[in-house]
A and B are shown apart, each in its own frame.
Chain A
Amino acid sequence: MNATTHSLPATQVPAAGGDSPRPHPGRRLALAAVGLVALATLPFWAGDDYHLHLAALIATFWILVAGLNLVVGYTGLLSLGHVALLAIGAYAFAILAGTHGWPPFVALAAAGVIGAGCGFVLGLPSLRLPGFYFAMATLAFSMIVGEFLLAQDTLTGGGAGLPVPAFGAPFDSLRGFYWLVTGLAVAVTWLTWNVTRLMWGKAMVALRDSEVAAASTGVPAFGIKLTVYTFSGATAAIGGALFGSLQSYITPDTFHFELGMFFFICIVIGGRGAILGPLVGTIVLTALPEVVAPLAKLGQFFYGALLLAVVLLIPEGMGSLIGVLREKLHPSRNVKQVVAPDLARLAAALRQEPQA
């Protein structure tokens, strides 16, 4: 699972495009390697356990956001139901590993499968619906899951919630858990990045930009949407299982609707149709309220205001802002081709005209 071995040949233009300029492939390879080393050694130079906990939280959120990014950022489907898929993953893990005593990794895989199944079942009817209808169907789904969690108290503990078991031996410490989630996060990033730069990604972007045009050129619209949604269901549930294990106790209140909003903002703020942008968005938005105390008090209000500001001011996301800044600082030189009239030849041609 090493992202560096899969960098692009120099001539190929990455599909993850946008119009922001990309660094040279060699430099990108070095950057990715440095990033990976930094990630892997974080437990040794991070200030304290709290920062490490925060880093692990970011990684678990990113596992969900990476999958959701394919849905929202690339395919352009506004799914408001992913917080429910997160809850499903967390509860599935808590019930299987905790109540039934399954080995944690089997339970994690099972949670992923259940999440994928839920994504599939939810997507099957609702992905046929256009924009707002789809958003409302997924919003309704998240409310149904909330009701279900409260009502089925023999299974989910109702409003009181459930304890979530930790992972086994090497991963039971915070440091071990951090490596586990970060490894998974890198793996998911690599997966989504691979998807987006191949034909799949292009098909998704085509669907986002014009479904009719994409379908008329032979893109199997419904099949692609359903596959992407199922995949995002799996990543959301895996993220949820890890999130639950990190929190060690979950209640239905943990998975409030505004948490879903938060995932949205991570993607929108970073920029639709890119991977790095939402990643930076997730890191900054998870860390910001923890570092700046007054923002934590405002909580969801802050996220709502941020989303509104981004949608109104820079709908293409922060990524486009970087592109604009780069253009301001280093204007790309317009290659001028001076077309000088060759008067002598023209005159010669004119002179020959009557004879021809």
Chain B
Amino acid sequence: MLTVLVTGLAMGALYAAAALAYNVMYSTSKVLSVTTGHIFMLSGVAAAFLIGELKMHWSIGLLGALAVSLVFGLLTEIVAIRRVLARSDEHLWLLSTLALATIVQQAVGLWWGTEPKPFPRLIAQDFTAGPWDQKYWLPIAAVVLITVALELFYRRTLFGKIFIAVSEDPFAARARGIATDRVRAASYAIAGLIGGVAGFAAAQLTYAYFALGLSLTLNGFIALAVGGLGSNSGALVGGVLLGLLTSVATYYFGGAYQQTIAVGLLMAFLLLKPEGLFGNKKARLV
């Protein structure tokens, strides 16, 4: 039972990280990118390639994974978001990010293969560890690290304050001389970093798998919708809640309906409390 809870917490941490990445991108661009999960997938695959295939030290693997996911985050903004937002057609960003996500997923599938490959261990194997195994606490630690770093960044640095200004009111921020386009690009790079750290830390749990992106995109979004769009604490709570729920449900009912349970949670929240646990109700401007 302890293993079930710890697995749930670890998966929940991963979902929470995805929800945080959504939040960072959403705050500056008001876009929910379908490529969010693929950032995590790319990080895991890149690290598995560097450490597992090329036999490099794990620190180089981490750096490589971070670089790849950061570049991909930036690429998302440059390729799929910038032009579409400039044209300001409402739904097109969904199609462009979906297209980019498919391209990346299939490219990884073609290059890396479509089978899940195990991720190399970072610390020497300890079979007695049980639920205290590194594959469980690493993602949890990574998410704690990401959350603290994000909070410090937003509250303590000038650049973080600029981010908040842009997310509150992009026009006013622009009027005060902030290059909102550059801030938006930077937010996608930060989302890439989040995905890089969390994807690397969780890769022992998820394996390096090309189709991980799509399910993480969906589950991260469920965590976000449960917690409340735009709220970082909501993202954490929603992610952990979702992870625990699916893990416990898998324990009792078997793994066949994992996604169904997650989606049931999403639907229940969207129908009963559409703004999420920590989101604030906003009157829509007409």
Q: Kindly state the separation between the CA atoms of A242 and B222 in the bound complex, as whole angstroms.
A: 34
* Interface of chain A: mostly helix, strand, loop or mixed: helix
Q: Does chain B have a CB within 8 A of A303?
A: yes
Interface residue B40 (Cβ < 8 Å from any Cβ of A) = no
Report if A13 contacts B (CB, 8 A): no
Query: Which of A131, A151, A315 is the one whose CB lies under 8 Å from B94?
Result: A131
Residues of chain A within 8 A of B274, CB atoms compared: 129
Are B271 and A125 touching (Cβ within 8 A)? yes
| A312 interface hit (Cβ, 8 Å) | yes
CB distance from A247 to the nearest CB of B (A): 21
Q: Per a CB cutoff under 8 Å, which of B95, B110, B218 touches A301?
A: B110
* A78 CB contacts on chain B under 8 angstroms: 91, 94-95
Q: Are B91 and A308 in contact (CB under 8 A)?
A: no
User: A297-326, CB under 8 A of B: which get 1 and which 0?
Assistant: 011110111011001100100000000000
Q: Which of B49-57, B96-104, B192-200 lies at the binding interface? A: B96-104
- Chain A 135-173, CB-CB to B under 8 Å as 1, else 0, gives 111011101100110110000000000000000000000
| A137-B267 in contact (CB<8A) | yes
CB distance from A317 to the nearest CB of B (A): 12
Whether A147 and B99, one on each chain, are in contact in the complex, defined by CB atoms closer than 8 angstroms, is no
* B107:A136 contact, CB within 8 angstroms: no
Tell which of A136, A137, A300, A312 touches B106, judged by Cβ atoms closer than 8 Å: A300
The residue in chain A whose Cβ has the minimal distance to the Cβ of B286 is: A212
A122 CB, nearest partner CB in chain B, Å: 10
Q: Which of A53-99 contact B (CB under 8 A)?
A: 76, 78, 80
Least distance between B159 CB and chain A CB atoms (Å): 28
Q: How many residues in B have their beta carbons less than 8 Å from beta carbons of A?
A: 42
Closest chain B residue to A258 by CB distance? B102
Q: Across the interface, do B270 and A304 meet the contact criterion of CB distance under 8 Å? A: no
Contact of B259 among A135, A143, A303, A307 (CB under 8 A): A143
Return A184 CB to nearest CB of chain B, in Å.
29
Q: How far is the CA of A62 from the CA of B48 in the complex (A)?
A: 42
**Residues of chain A lying within 8 A (CB to CB) of residue B259:** 140, 143-144, 147
In chain B, residues 80-106, which have Cβ atoms closer than 8 Å to a Cβ of chain A? 80, 83-84, 87, 89-92, 94-96, 98-103, 105-106
Q: Is there an interface contact between B260 and A304, defined as CB atoms closer than 8 Å? A: no
Q: Given A139-B218, A140-B218, A308-B96: A301 and B103 within 8 A (CB)?
A: yes
CB distance from A83 to the nearest CB of B (A): 13
Nearest chain B CB to A142's CB is how many angstroms away? 10
Contact status B107-A301, CB under 8 Å: yes
B98 CB contacts on chain A under 8 angstroms: 80, 261, 264, 307
- Identify the closest chain B residue to A212 (Cβ): B286
Contact A308 B79 (CB under 8 A): yes
Q: Taking CB as reference atom, which chain A residue is nearest B90?
A: A131
The listed residue (B99, B218, B222, B267) touching A308 by CB distance below 8 A is B99
B91-A301 in contact (CB<8A): no
Residues of A323-350 contacting chain B, CB below 8 A = none
Q: Are B214 and A137 within 8 A (Cβ)?
A: no
B257 interface residue, CB < 8 Å from A? yes
- B100 touching A148 by the CB < 8 A rule? no
Chain A nearest CB: distance from B82 CB in Å? 10
Q: Identify the closest chain A residue to B83 (Cβ).
A: A312
Of the candidates B91, B95, B266, the one whose C-beta lies within 8 Å of that of A137 is B266
Chain A residues with CB below 8 A from B147, complex form:
none
Given contacts A147-B260, A212-B286, contact A315 B87 (CB under 8 A): yes
Kindly state the separation between the CA atoms of A140 and B218 in the bound complex, as whole angstroms: 7
* Cβ A300 vs Cβ B270 within 8 A: no
State A132–B274 Cα separation when bound (angstroms): 13
In the assembled complex, the Cα of A290 lies from the Cα of B19 at a distance in Å of: 40
- For B225, the closest partner residue in chain A by CB is A133
8 tightest A-B CB contacts, nearest first: A304-B102, A151-B256, A308-B99, A301-B106, A307-B99, A304-B103, A140-B263, A300-B106
